[in-house]
Structure 1
Amino acid sequence: MALPAIPSPRATLIPFLSAAEADRLAYPPNALPGARDVSTFYGTMRVYEWGPADGNKVLFVHGDATPCLVFSKIAQGIVDAGYRVMLFDLWGRGYSDTPLNCRHDVRLLATQILLAIGSSPLSWMGNGNLFSIVAFSLGGPISLAFTGAFPLSVRSLVLLGPAGLIRTLPDGYEDQIMHSPELAPSDEALREKVRQILGVAVSGPALNIQADQRQDAPPPTGPDRVEKTFDMGAVLQWQFDHHQGHVHPSQSTTQYGPLQKGEHIWKKVCDIISARTRPDAPLHGSKLLVFFGQDDDVVVGKETSEEISNLLPPDHLQVETSLL
């Protein structure tokens, strides 16, 4: 039995726009190659997959705020190097629905990886099939949780500004209504708090939506490759304005998600990488590559590096810092 869900802009926006209007959106429905909408017990999710069918496989898992478009150019570069890639929008982001009556915790989000790779015409796991994961921010602990549960399937991990070990959450995340939404005086008050955290405007430019001109939206047909550069600030604004279910997972992930105190999630995989456990796993005795942004004030590189070092010996950890 499917959970109730708030539909994404795939159902609430795109059918009311012309093809030209949809193409001008900050996140157009045909933004990336290999798009498909996957129906699940939790709602419908957006998945993209392209690249050589016989190439080594790489899965990208994005963070809390931005949908998977944040990886578009990186993914295309990986494809150009001969790899097969997959990206998907987490629940309540981009073109994925928002499941209700469930916590948006690491279990729900890590399960989404299974749903994404299970929708592929190719085998991503089982029978010796392996894939690598590149994860950003919240995607870090999500990917670690998945790897801990399915250690025989993951070839390598690259984490970009990973959450899970954050010592102090940024302003707004600790607000009472983000952890007890029932205390919010109104739905609009909670929406305003999420808006402040995301740093978007009160409202973006209005769209010419003709409610009486709904038509069945055809399956998205994307380009053969990524050529366009997407404005992530504009994508955030579009998502806040037009995804009717975006506020709920933003709040629920803050309350229940793996942003902090995720040592148990990290440790299980760190023990494999450092060769303490699971000698049968591809990650056994390998090295974890972690990138931090020099000016990132959410996932502070120095602090998180210290926390990782408590779980992983230095010869199994490579930390890089970027100006971006």
Structure 2
Amino acid sequence: MRVYEWGPADGDKVLFVHGDATPCLVFSKIAQGLVDAGYRVISLGTRIQRYAAPLPARRSSLATQILLAVGSSPLSWMGNGNLFSIVAFSLGGPISLAFAGTFPLSVRSLVLLGPAGLIRTLPDGYEDHIIHNPELAPSDEALREKVRQILGVAVSGPALKMQADQRQEVPPPAGPARVEKTFDMGAVLQWQFDHHQGHVHSFQSTARYGSLQKGEHIWKKVCDIISARTRPDAPLHGSKLLVFFGQDDDVVVGKETSEEISHLLPPDHLQVEYLPGGHGFPYPNSESITRTILSFWGSRSSLL
């Protein structure tokens, strides 16, 4: 896993948790926007995207990475009254909900972007027998091809212009540079498919074991806190959940998922926003999302 942390040391803390296919770069502009507004942020690159062994990507093991991430900080993120907010995308949604349900005294606010966990119909390929029984795949290449089809990437992308033995340690700069670059997220997905060792097996494991569906129990535990049914000692008690959806998202369908959330959360405790695009909507809508988050947290602070 990778942990990127920057922003003023005395700022309110925010953790970003990505999904099963798109890496933490999806949050780069949102995170920088929050840093510019005075927040301290961690953007977590989980083992889903990195050099993971083909182990079951169970929700508990992924949620544990949040503990490891905040524990790596030179600052205190948990305990002694320390709180942080979470902004999560796709599979990062149920991972973050599982964490918040386990450590309700540590989470100040939740913002979910196209969250999984309540999906009614899985995307094409996710229920293929090779994904759920990789030992039956005729070869590693057959499994790789199935994952490639699900991700929608090419058979092979451009060659990586760096040799492994050319890598070297470089001292970190005095402070991180502003995130100004615009990324081609399709090219990023292609690059990690081509070059991240273990990515294919890790994605397959996540698709097999991840909490993409039937996660009502995960959602309900936190929704009960937000709607003030339980845990009056928790910062989320009586608060509000902010959820974004892509208008044309065919992976996490906004209308369906918002209906499922409404069964768990009263309307006064839920704010739903729709933005242009499919499941990859967060990155191209970064500025709008950042403004809405800042407004949401500002209005929430005025109620405390």
TM-score, with normalisation over the residues of structure 1? 0.82
After TM superposition, give the deviation of residue 51 of structure 1 in Å: 0.3
- Opposite residue 97 of structure 1, the aligned amino acid is Y
List per-residue Cα deviations over 1:25-75 (Å, max 9, x = no partner).
xxxxxxxxxxxxxxxxxxxx2110000000000000111111101100110
Please point out which of 108, 129, 136 is paired with 2:89.
136
Give the corresponding residue for 1:190.
143
Which of 221, 227, 237 lines up with 1:268 in the alignment? 221
Cα displacement string for residues 86-119 of structure 1 (whole angstroms, at most 9, x for unaligned residues): 00111041xx33144x310111110010000000
Amino acid of the residue matched to residue 35 of structure 2?
V
Q: Report the CA distance between 1:219 and its aligned residue.
A: 4.7
What SS class does the counterpart of residue 201 from structure 1 fall into? coil
TM-score by structure 2 length?
Answer: 0.88
Distance 1:230 1:310 in 2: 37
Task: Please state how far the C-alpha of 1:206 moved relative to its aligned partner.
Answer: 1.8
C-alpha distance in 2 between matches for 1:299 and 1:220: 41
The corresponding residue for 1:322 is 275
Structure 1 moving runs of 4+ over 6 Å: none
* Residue aligning to 2:52: 98
Q: Does the residue aligned with 1:267 lie in a helix, a strand or coil?
A: helix
Give, in whole Å, the separation in 1 of the partners of 2:82 and 2:123: 39
Decide whether the 8 Å contact of 1:156 with 1:283 is kept in 2. Answer: yes
Contact 1:92 1:243 in 2 (8 A): no
* Aligned length, in residue pairs: 275
Q: Does 1:116 align with 2:72?
A: no
Deviation per CA, 1:140-170: give whole Å up to 9, x if none. 0000000000000000000010000000011
Aligned ranges for residues 7-156 of structure 1 at < 5 Å?
A: 45-93=1-49, 96-100=50-54, 102-156=55-109
How far did residue 183 of structure 1 move? Answer: 1.1
| CA RMSD, Structure 1 to Structure 2 (Å) | 1.4
TM-aligned CA deviation for residue 221 of structure 1: 3.8
**CA deviation string 1:215-270 (max 9, x = no partner):** 55315747422111111111000000000110111111111111111111001000
Structure 2 runs not aligned, ≥5 long: 278-304
Change (3 A) 1:209 1:273: closer
Q: 1:84 to 1:179 in 2, by over 3 A?
A: same
